[in-house]
Structure 1
Amino acid sequence: MSRPGRADEGPLDAGTLAFLSRQGLTRLWTAVRARLERQGLQPAGAVRLQHLDAPEREALSLLLARPVTGPTATVRLPDLDTRLRASAAGRGLAATLEALGPPLTDRRAARDAAAAERARVWSAARTELESTSLPDRPWTAQWLEELRRGGTLARQDPHTATTVVTQAIRTLAILFPDGDAPRAPASWGRGELATRATGSAHGLDDGTLLSRLVLRGIALAHNKEFPTDAPARRALWRAATVTPDEVSSTVLTHGLRPTGTTWQEAALRERADHHRETHLTLRDLRTLRLTMPSGTRVHVCENPRVVEAAADAARTAPLVCTSGSAATVVLTLLDALAASGCAFAYHGDFDWPGIALANRVIRRYAAEPWRMRAPDYEHLATRTHLHGAPHLPLTGPPVEAVWDPELAPAMRASGIALHEEAALDLLLEDLE
């Protein structure tokens, strides 16, 4: 909040402005401005200036109409206010500083206004809560208090904070109705629930503030830890009879032959026998029994073209594709395969994002680098040059390969990015 000057005060005349703006008064005005802004723009108390030089002592002596001779001076703000009113400035301390600029900010008033806004947010939240069945639940008071103390909502503008917390209460009230409320479906789709509570099918998408607040409430209601990863979030949604989207994201596979006896495992084996790739959803992975033959070595690639070529060439080795990102569904499959005792070999693009992704997979699964060492890169770079193929330059910040300290220097020296397709013939040899 700024304090505008009085309309009848007008600008300072040139002489007065030049005097008050002299360098010898800079430290005084800085200290006084900070003091006024802290105390509601009222000229009370004093400021103490130390280590004064000669120009400062001279300027203060003229301003205060008393000699300042030592290295330290204490200036009482009420006295300075009176002095300015009686001087050529013709106005009080706050109005003088406004004229010198920039505008003053009443930080006390700003804090009070912000506190009032926060109080209105929580008042709206409590009103919304009282209109539902939630106050009767033993966990709701703790949920609301955690939101208040956590500070996440305080960092939002008041309108956003009010909207999100009331939508969170509305969503939880739908999931935990009282006996007189209409019966909820046996299972909500997350988009369906979001539409009911917010008007948007994406209102409860992963990563939104609203979804975090609702999940916090669900966790307290079920006495569970707040989820820290995507699988735990999905499990918590399901605990509240909410089905997260488990079908739109898929992982591309080829040659998986699990030993389970259900129709799903049999279908995977049959597709592998016919050299057909398979897209698996999170929903599939939730019910698949991915028990693999002991010691199975699974190759992991980055680009779908490798899977397509392996299927066309009737290769039989198990193959999983990250599709360039290793999304949740990819990691869920690899986690399940790792739990069944599979070992992994990884190949990806020879560019900096490709090395970063390889680091992630190799670290997580102790995977073996699959034709991903410095000599492999140099061989491909030389072959690409001999074939006369256009060079794709490396761009972006370099990334060190955790499995080979020579790889990043070799890539920097060559400056060429090589996508996985450049090694396709070699990869297919390994997949026989």
Structure 2
Amino acid sequence: MDAETLAFLTRPGLTRLWTAARTRLERNGLRPTGTTRLQHLDAPEREALSLLLARPVTGPTATISLPDLDARLHASVAGRGLAAILEALGPPLTDRRAVRDAAAAERVRVWSTARTELESTSLSSHPWTERWLEDLGRGGTLTRQVPHTATTVVTQAIRTLATLFPATDPHPTPAAWGRGELATVATGSAHGLDDGTLLSRLVLRGIALAHDTEFPTDAPARRALWRMALVTPDEVSSTVLTHGLRPTGGTWREAALRERADHHLETHVTLRELRALSLEMPPGTRIHVCENPRVIEAAADTGRPAPLVCTSGSATTVVLTLLDALAAAGCTFAYHGDFDWPGIALANRITQRYDAAPWRMRAADYEYLATRAQVRGTPTIPLTGPPTEAAWDPELAPTMTAVGIALHEEAALDLLLEDLG
């Protein structure tokens, strides 16, 4: 474009025309179709439009046919069409329709990839996953991402959830994870599931749906939800309470456990310590598992030598990690807990996961403790809530229902200490 033509096209009286024409072309796939209407024209604009269009523009309003303007520019003004002129004047034109179509196609591809990935994993057997995928599609968080990022994150989320929720099973035995370890497996980075990341939000939404609970709105609720999926948010704040563990490994870590056991000291072990410990035990070692820390405290006070692990009420990730390692080392287990319905539910979980023997947890044991409490005049607690069948003794739940009192583990403490001796 020669300097004279450029100077003519860039005169201030044409600025509004080029702006309006650019808007129209970008909406129409860069095709010069339709008309544009300019209002409140001043004298310089009327003069410039008259020269450009080769017709007088005298009023305050002008309606300009874009096909005619395109032909006029081609034939007489610059030897090129409207789109080329706008490109030359800058900035480059954007085909907004093509951009929208491409974005829509990318979104379809993201969800197609996600669905294919989901169907290739164990998640396809879980009924909540369809709602999870639909919720992601309706929400704007994922769709606002660059398509490559969206595809990567949703694929990582599916694989993470598939790790946490294997195929449905009548007796599932989910693995326990540290969040950093799980993030490394999913993303290659130990921080991939940190609070605030898009991936952590997608995974937590899946966990919430799987457990039919609300999506967490604060940090404590997020940590609780991670633990519900047997994921420990960090590897040092949660511990498992033990007493009398004597692993045979040769490092200072195993020696420290043996020394504490010899001195009848309880030990809190973190998840990070468990990653480094060798928990090989003497052949035939039986591990007694209790629900309440008071049992460990009493065992330490009275110098009981038997190895003892406490679930501290709910058997968190670190507890299960220790028991998993002991099971892998060939240990056997005996379990005792509270005689109430939550206690029976926890006992079911432990006895089924580790094939643990009931430890003074049968109907006869409950009847004996209930009778002893009544004879001694010990205040009793009413048994409340829906009954839970005991997997190891079908008579236990009916007996508890008939007697109607809850008995915490401390009611059997003297008998448990006898066994630990």
Equivalent position to 2:131, from 142, 145, 165: 142
TM-score, with length taken from structure 2: 0.55
CA distance, structure 2, for counterparts of residue 213 and residue 223 of structure 1: 15
Equivalent position to 2:55, from 41, 66, 70: 66
Say if 1:263 and 1:94 are closer, same or farther in 2 by CA, change over 3 A. same
Partner of residue 159, structure 2: 170
TM-score, with length taken from structure 1: 0.54
The structure number with the bigger radius of gyration is 2
CA distance, structure 2, for counterparts of residue 142 and residue 126 of structure 1: 12
Say if 1:225 and 1:65 are closer, same or farther in 2 by CA, change over 3 A. same
Partner of residue 208, structure 2: 219
Report sequence identity in percent: 80
Partner of residue 98, structure 1: 87
Whether contact under 8 Å (2:178, 2:235) holds in the other structure is no
What's the Cα RMSD here? 3.0
Q: Which amino acid aligns with 1:143?
A: W
Whether contact under 8 Å (2:30, 2:83) holds in the other structure is yes
The answer to whether 1:88 aligns with 2:94 is no
Whether contact under 8 Å (2:175, 2:230) holds in the other structure is yes
CA distance, structure 2, for counterparts of residue 112 and residue 205 of structure 1: 34
Partner of residue 18, structure 2: 29
For structure 1, the 5+ residue unaligned runs are 1-11, 250-260, 267-282, 288-432
CA distance, structure 1, for counterparts of residue 65 and residue 34 of structure 2: 6
The answer to whether 1:189 aligns with 2:178 is yes
Whether contact under 8 Å (1:175, 1:184) holds in the other structure is no
Say if 1:223 and 1:67 are closer, same or farther in 2 by CA, change over 3 A. same
Question: Could you give the per-residue CA deviations for residues 23-51 of structure 1, whole angstroms, max 9, x where no partner exists?
Answer: 11111111001111111110000000001
Whether contact under 8 Å (2:125, 2:167) holds in the other structure is no
Whether contact under 8 Å (1:218, 1:240) holds in the other structure is yes
Paired residues, what number? 250
Equivalent position to 1:47, from 36, 39, 56: 36
Partner of residue 96, structure 2: 107
CA distance, structure 2, for counterparts of residue 264 and residue 163 of structure 1: 47
Partner of residue 234, structure 2: 245
Partner of residue 229, structure 1: 218
Whether contact under 8 Å (1:190, 1:244) holds in the other structure is yes
Partner of residue 386, structure 1: none
Partner of residue 145, structure 2: 156
Partner of residue 128, structure 1: 117
Summarize the alignment of residues 325-336 of structure 1 with structure 2, pairs less than 5 Å apart: none
CA distance, structure 1, for counterparts of residue 101 and residue 107 of structure 2: 10
Whether contact under 8 Å (1:40, 1:108) holds in the other structure is yes
Q: Which amino acid aligns with 1:13?
A: D
CA distance, structure 2, for counterparts of residue 244 and residue 264 of structure 1: 26
Say if 1:176 and 1:51 are closer, same or farther in 2 by CA, change over 3 A. same
The answer to whether 1:116 aligns with 2:95 is no
CA distance, structure 2, for counterparts of residue 209 and residue 41 of structure 1: 36
Structure 1 residue 196: deviation in Å? Answer: 2.6
CA distance, structure 1, for counterparts of residue 156 and residue 139 of structure 2: 18
Equivalent position to 1:38, from 24, 27, 32: 27
Whether contact under 8 Å (1:36, 1:43) holds in the other structure is yes
Question: Could you give the per-residue CA deviations for residues 205-243 of structure 1, whole angstroms, max 9, x where no partner exists?
Answer: 222111110000010111100001111111111211222
CA distance, structure 2, for counterparts of residue 264 and residue 38 of structure 1: 74
Say if 1:158 and 1:101 are closer, same or farther in 2 by CA, change over 3 A. same
CA distance, structure 2, for counterparts of residue 196 and residue 69 of structure 1: 72
Question: Could you give the per-residue CA deviations for residues 351-397 of structure 1, whole angstroms, max 9, x where no partner exists?
Answer: xxxxxxxxxxxxxxxxxxxxxxxxxxxxxxxxxxxxxxxxxxxxxxx
Structure 1 residue 248: deviation in Å? Answer: 5.3
Structure 1 residue 204: deviation in Å? Answer: 1.5
CA distance, structure 2, for counterparts of residue 126 and residue 138 of structure 1: 14
Q: Which amino acid aligns with 1:97?
A: L
Whether contact under 8 Å (1:204, 1:210) holds in the other structure is yes
CA distance, structure 2, for counterparts of residue 103 and residue 71 of structure 1: 30
CA distance, structure 2, for counterparts of residue 216 and residue 43 of structure 1: 47
Whether contact under 8 Å (2:126, 2:167) holds in the other structure is no
For structure 2, the 5+ residue unaligned runs are 239-292, 299-310, 316-421
Whether contact under 8 Å (1:174, 1:184) holds in the other structure is no
CA distance, structure 1, for counterparts of residue 168 and residue 129 of structure 2: 17
SS at match of 2:77: coil
Whether contact under 8 Å (1:167, 1:198) holds in the other structure is yes
Structure 1 residue 246: deviation in Å? Answer: 5.8
Whether contact under 8 Å (1:24, 1:56) holds in the other structure is yes
Partner of residue 19, structure 1: 8
Whether contact under 8 Å (1:187, 1:242) holds in the other structure is yes
Q: Which amino acid aligns with 2:23?
A: A
